[in-house]
Amino acid sequence: MKKILILSLCFLIVVGLSGCVSQVGEIGGEKTIKIVTSAPMRSINHGQDISRGVKLALEEVNYQVSNFKIEIVTEDDGDENGQWQESLEEEIAKRAVADQDVMAYIATLNSGAAKISIPITNEGGLVQISPANTWPGLTKAGFFPGEPGIFYPTGMRNFFRVCTTDDNQGPAAAIWAKDLGFKNIFIYDDGEAYGKGIADLFAEKATVIGLNVVGQKTIDRTAEDLTDELNEIKDLDIDLIYFGGMSSHGAIPIIKGIEELEMTAKFMAPDGVMDPAFIEGGVDATEGAYLTTVAVPPEEVGGKANDFYNNYVEMYDMEPGSFSGLGYEAAKVVLLAIEKAGTNDRGMILEEVSKIKDYDGLFGTWSFDQNGDTTLTLMSGNIVKDKVFVFEKLLSAK
């Protein structure tokens, strides 16, 4: 049984942003640069996965780059149920920008939250790197009116991400569904930028390749019971239910409802659901669920990915989670930019991030395309077997 390690890369070009010059603080006479992370830290595991990955990257350099001591500030933009809160994300981003010691913002987990924080960090000249935002409109035109320009009030880019986007993951899932033999599909989404976005992209590709999309509906992402919703489609001869969203936004009530109503339809979802909380909450109902992710197992990559896996297990006495490698990679990029800049000038650090080319990362060497996204589009399909996410195959959007 192969163990999945979620590692994937993608970045955004940043051009010509003249940042704010910041005087770092000193602790015990040593200059300090702060890196802020922001993600939901309760109920679901993704935020903790990111934080652990970042900390591993900092441990490897002993929290020291050039003449600077590196300090991590871990923020929680979610509630007790793991759902991100607009007011919290706005407050955290503003606090990060106002702190002149902060040189990088590793955030967010949810694409909807990124829509709140990117304009704030953009105006503050602060580089923002996300380990998990996959909504294409944050960086690419043609997905939602006004995007991505509305996120960059200065007219210049400061946002990067270390993951491929949902215009790859959504179509790849539809192709996989067809390969698995599914024909009649009903789609639910949580109404969020990430969830509805990937659901729409899945639906579009599914229709193009000849699958029958029976219907699509946005659910109440706070609902604890969705059996009434499922009852409405129970007799429609559906063989696959696709859900676009997070594990804390309806995935568990849907999978439990499928079991309770003894429906024959299978369940498929993207990487926002590939969290231990999904299996813990859905228990036996999750057996056989299909999950896609912008990731591959370390044994499919080798090299640095294997080293990361071994070091992570040694440090935390647990396997990496879905976004551990992404958090790690985001931090490594920040550390490299700080080293190359050799200063605590936000603009110079941002410029160094934008210059990264032919980067030797966890997946190997990659570069930016014209949009600043990674040239790597590694994705995988996974199945829940005996309450474990098991790698099944590499996926492609073509």
| pLDDT for the residue 29 | 53
Reading the block at residue 229, the tokens are 């919703």
What radius of gyration, in Å, describes the C-alpha atoms of the chain? Answer: 20
In a domain, 11, yes or no: no
Please state the length of the chain: 398
Whether the per-residue pLDDT at 8 is higher than 60: the answer is no
> Do residue 384 and residue 357 come from a single domain?
no
Q: Is the peptide bond before 108 cis (omega within 30 degrees of 0)?
A: yes
CB neighbour burial string for 21-52, b if at least 16 within 10 angstroms, e if fewer? ebebbeeeeeebbbbbbbbbbebbbbbbbbbb
The SS3 assignment for 178 reads: helix
- Describe the crossing of helices 304-316 and 324-341 by its angle, rounded to 10 degrees: 110
> Do residue 29 and residue 155 come from a single domain?
yes
In a domain, 110, yes or no: yes
> Do residue 118 and residue 227 come from a single domain?
no
> Do residue 136 and residue 237 come from a single domain?
no
In a domain, 20, yes or no: no
More confident residue, 389 or 162: 389
Q: What mean pLDDT is reported for the chain? A: 90
Whether the per-residue pLDDT at 23 is higher than 70: the answer is no
Torsion, Cα 304 310 315 318, to 10 degrees, reads 120
In this structure, of 79-88, 133-142, 293-302, 364-373, the range with the lowest mean pLDDT score is 364-373
Integer angstrom CA distances of residue 264 from 95, 182, 235, 348: 49, 12, 10, 56
> Do residue 38 and residue 67 come from a single domain?
yes
Arithmetic mean of pLDDT, 355-365: 86
> Do residue 306 and residue 230 come from a single domain?
no
In a domain, 4, yes or no: no
Range(s) of the domain holding residue 270 = 166-293+379-395
Confidence of residue 182 (pLDDT cuts 50, 70, 90): very high
> Do residue 275 and residue 335 come from a single domain?
no
In a domain, 125, yes or no: yes
Per-residue pLDDT of 122-181, as tens digits, reads 999 999 999 889 899 999 999 999 999 999 999 999 999 988 899 999 999 999 999 999
Confidence of residue 366 (pLDDT cuts 50, 70, 90): confident
| pLDDT for the residue 326 | 86
| pLDDT for the residue 172 | 97
> Do residue 240 and residue 260 come from a single domain?
yes
Q: How far apart are CA 98 and CA 83, in angstroms?
A: 25
In a domain, 374, yes or no: no
Domain of residue 289, CATH code: 3.40.50.2300
In a domain, 373, yes or no: no
Q: How far apart are CA 43 and CA 80, in angstroms?
A: 6
| pLDDT for the residue 302 | 82
Reading the block at residue 188, the tokens are 């639910």
| pLDDT for the residue 367 | 75
> Do residue 242 and residue 123 come from a single domain?
no
Number of domains the chain is built from: 2
Q: How far apart are CA 151 and CA 236, in angstroms?
A: 41
Integer angstrom CA distances of residue 332 from 9, 13, 57, 223: 12, 17, 6, 38
Q: Token match 């640095």: residue?
A: 304
Q: What are phi and psi of 247, to 5 degrees?
A: -60, -30
In a domain, 1, yes or no: no
> Do residue 276 and residue 304 come from a single domain?
no
Q: Residue 217: beta bridge partners?
A: 188
> Do residue 175 and residue 40 come from a single domain?
no
> Do residue 208 and residue 99 come from a single domain?
no
